[in-house]
Chains A and B, each alone.
Chain A
C-alpha cells in the first residue's frame, strides 16, 4: 500500500530571508506612521506651533546638524549623561556589593531600599540645581542618582542569586569569603549587572535632560526649553529626535558590550522594571 507524503503546511523560509522581510515591514510601519502624521497636520490644518509637518522637522534636523548648531549642545548633554552613568553605576555596583556581603546591613536597609524604588528621584532635580548651581555638575549628579538605583538593586540581587549547591561546592573546597566573592558571586552577578546597566543608561539620558530643563545654558534639554520660548515647535521635535537617537545608540552600546561579555554563557536575565 502506498503512503502519500503529507502536504507541507508551509514552506520553510530561510532565516535570513525572514529577517529581511521583517525589517521591510518595520520600515513600512514607520512610513505609515509618518504619512498619518503628515495627513493629520494637513487635514486639520494644524499650525506648526501645535504640530509641525514631519518634512519640516526633517528639514530642521538636517539643517541644524549640517551647519553645526546642534553639535556643541549634543556634546554637553552627552558628557553629562556619560559622567552621571559611569559615576552612578560604579557607586551602585560598589555599594550593592558591600551591602550584599553584609546581610545585617541588608536587613537594616531593606525598608529604605524598597522606599527608594518608589521615590520619584527626578522630583529632586530642582534641589540639586539649588545645591550645586548650574553647569555640568548638577545634571551629571541627577543622572548619577538615577543610574545608581537600578545598579544598586541589581547588584544586590545578582550577588544574592546563587543557589546553595554551588555555594556548597565552594565550601567543600575550602574557599575563603573573598574567593567565593570573586570566583562565584561576581561572575554569577554579571548578567544582572548588565540588565541594570541597560536600564540605567536610558534613565541617565532622562536625568541629564530634566536637569537641563531646570537651568542650563547649553545642551539638548536647554535647547528644548529655548525652542519653547521661541515658539519653535519644529526645532523642539528635531532636538527630541536627536535625543532619542542618542538614547538608542547608548543603549545599543551597552547591549553590544553585554553580548561580548556574556557570549559564552547563555543566561539571559529579563530587564528589571525601573
Chain B
C-alpha cells in the first residue's frame, strides 16, 4: 500500500506515459530496407591494387546489394585477420599465412574466395651476384619485409624446394623499403613481390635476376577470410559482397585503363595513372589461372591447398594438421 496518495497517482501516470511512449515508438516510420554493414579489413591502406573494390564503391554495386561498405586499413595480413577476430571488421582481405596460423591456434575461420590464385612473391638479386636458382641462395644474406611477412614464408618455400632452410642462409628483416639495402649491397638478395619489384625498377634498380615462388609452390597470395560463424549466419550478405567484388574484378580485368584513372581518385598511392596501370595489370595477372577460367573467379584449388598445408607443417610454421576442406570452401564461389 503506497504511503501517500500523491505517490500512487504519480506511478500510474508514469505507467500511462510509458505506454503512450511505447505506442508512439511503434508508430514511427521504419526503413523498409536496412543496409547491411560490411566492413572489409584489408592488409593495406586503400591502394591502387584494390581498384576493383573502388569500382564496386564508385559504381554503386555495394549499394545495389544493400551493403554499407567500409574499408578498414591495416598493416599486414595479420592485422586484417586480427581485426576480424576482434570484431572490428566482418571480412578480411589477407594473405593465407595468418589464416593458417590462427586456425592452428584454434580460431574458427574460413576462406571463402580466392582473391589472387597466383603467387606474387619472389627473391630478387642483382645480376652481378649470379643468383639464378634456389641453390645459389645458400650462404647468402637475404632481406625480408619482416619475420611475419609473406616474403619470409615464401622464401622458405623456395629454399625448401632444394632441401635448404633458413639455417643455410642469413635472413635480415629490412622493412618494406627492402630494395634500399639491396642497392647498397647490405644484402645479396631480397625477398619481395611483383609490385615491389616494379616500383624498385622505376627507381633505377638496374639489371636483376628474379626467382619466383610460384614456380615451386604456387600458394595463393590473398583470399577473403571470415569467421566460421559469419559464413553460416550471414550467408546472404557475404554472397552479395562477393558478387559485387567479382563484378569489380571483372571490370578491372576488362577496363585496366579506366581503372587506372579511377585509382587516382580512391587510392592513397594513386596519384600517377601510369603507375596505377602497371600495378593493376600485375594484379589482373595474379587474379586468373586455369581454375578460374574453368570455374569462375575466386576458385580454390583444393589439391594445391592440401599441399600448402602439408608444406607449412613440414616447415614447422603450423603444428596441427589443419582440415583444408573446412578452412577453404568453394561453396560461395559456386553461388556467384
Contact = CB atoms under 8 A, between A and B. Distances in A.
B203 A215 contact: no
Contacts of B88: 130, 133-134
A231 B271 CA distance: 14
Contacts of B71: 217
Interface stretch (A47-55, A108-116, A191-199, A265-273): A47-55
A229 B44 contact: yes
A230 interface: yes
Interface in B20-54: 44-47
A226 B176 CA distance: 10
A122 B45 CA distance: 21
A226 B203 contact: no
B45 A213 contact: no
Interface string B251-283: 000000000000000001101000100000000
B183 A215 contact: no
B79 A231 contact: no
Interface in B77-117: 79, 82-83, 86, 88
Interface string A205-240: 000000001111110001101111111110000000
**In the complex, which range does the number of interface residues on chain B fall in?**
20 to 34
B324 interface: no
Nearest to A215: B73
Contact of B72 (A69, A134, A218, A231): A134
Nearest to A48: B203
In the complex, which of the residues A215, A217, A225, A228 has the most CB atoms of chain B within 10 Å of its own CB atom?
A215
A46 B179 CA distance: 12
Given A213-B75, A231-B177, A69 B271 contact: yes
Interface in B173-216: 175-177, 179-180, 183-184, 196, 199-200, 202-204
Contact of B45 (A130, A222, A233): A222
B93 to A, nearest CB: 13
B203 A231 contact: yes
B75 A215 contact: yes
B139 to A, nearest CB: 25
Contacts of B74: 215
Given A49-B200, A217-B46, A229 B176 contact: yes
Nearest to B272: A230
A139 to B, nearest CB: 12
B268 A233 contact: no
Contacts of A228: 175-177
Given A49-B203, A133-B88, A214-B75, A229 B180 contact: no
B268 A231 contact: no
**In the complex, which range does the number of interface residues on chain A fall in?**
20 to 34
Given A130-B86, A225-B75, A49 B183 contact: yes
Contacts of B73: 134, 215-217, 222
A226 B86 contact: no
B175 A49 contact: no
Contacts of B177: 49, 228, 231, 233
Contacts of A222: 45, 73, 268
Contacts of B269: 226-227, 229-230
Given A47-B204, A49-B203, A225 B175 contact: no
A227 B180 CA distance: 14
Nearest to B175: A228
Nearest to B46: A217
A226 B179 contact: no
A49 B268 contact: no
A138 to B, nearest CB: 10
Contacts of A225: 45, 75
Nearest to B181: A50
A213 B75 CA distance: 8
A69 B261 CA distance: 15
Contacts of B196: 231
A231 B200 contact: yes
A32 B130 CA distance: 42
Interface in A22-68: 46-50
Contact of A130 (B47, B82, B176, B203): B82
Interface in A125-153: 130, 133-134
Interface in B201-251: 202-204
Nearest to A233: B177
A233 B178 CA distance: 12
Contacts of A232: 199, 203
B14 to A, nearest CB: 37
11 contacts: A49-B203, A133-B72, A133-B83, A134-B73, A217-B46, A222-B73, A226-B268, A228-B176, A228-B177, A231-B179, A233-B177
Interface of A: 46-50, 69, 130, 133-134, 213-218, 222-223, 225-233
Given A133-B83, A231-B203, 13 more contacts: A49-B179, A49-B180, A49-B200, A50-B180, A69-B271, A228-B177, A229-B176, A229-B199, A229-B269, A230-B199, A231-B177, A232-B199, A233-B180
